[in-house]
Amino acid sequence: MTPDTLERARRIRLLVLDVDGVLTDGGLYYGAGGESLQRFHVHDGAGIKAVMAAGIAVAVISARRTPAVTARMKELGVETVVQGEQNKLEAVTEIAERMDIGLDAVACVGDDTTDVPMMRRAGLAIAVADARGPAVEAAHYRTSARGGHGAVREACDMLLLAG
């Protein structure tokens, strides 16, 4: 982690996470009845709980809407869950305004082009290891773990280390 990234991480009060490709491996799984299934990594959940316990708020913004995200975030105690939102920058801006913080106090974790606008405005932009090119280019930091395989935990650990 560079000194600039560490300094950016010290200012973070809100961690914003994408879902598909960040909290999950990006695969779309369907059951026999057509229901959507998603795989979440337990280490990511532990990291989310740890940053919240340290006083960093967590929000999830997803372009898709699935009951699995609602259930998992409820289980983790994440109260700010925005689903079905294509304009993630607008959503993160509204959340930050409600919290009365600037976007320089927001860390965003993304993996694809839909995440780039919010990543470019965030105080700390994090791309997962298997992120697409535009998200990597917008990032201040890139995890060594892939989305759905501990990348969120790595981001959380970085924030806790910087604190």
pLDDT at 36 exceeding the cut of 90:
no
88: alpha, beta or left, given left = phi > 0 and alpha = psi -120 to 50? Answer: alpha
Tens of pLDDT along 98-142?
A: 999 999 999 999 999 999 999 999 999 999 999 999 999 999 999
User: What's the Cα-to-Cα distance from 10 to each of 63, 88, 89, rounded to whole Å?
Assistant: 28, 23, 22
Tokens 């990032």 found at: 139
**Per-chain mean pLDDT for the chain:** 96
The CATH number given to whatever domain includes residue 121 is 3.40.50.1000
The whole-angstrom separation of Cα 76 and Cα 1 is 27
Residue 59, domain extent: 3-162
Specify the number of domains making up the chain.
1
pLDDT at 121: 98
pLDDT at 59: 98
3-state secondary structure of 9: helix
pLDDT at 1 exceeding the cut of 90:
no
Instruction: For the beta carbon of residue 119, count every other beta carbon within 10 angstroms.
Output: 29
Please list the residues that pair with 108 across neighbouring strands.
16, 125
Q: Which helix (H) or strand (E) holds 97?
A: helix 88-99
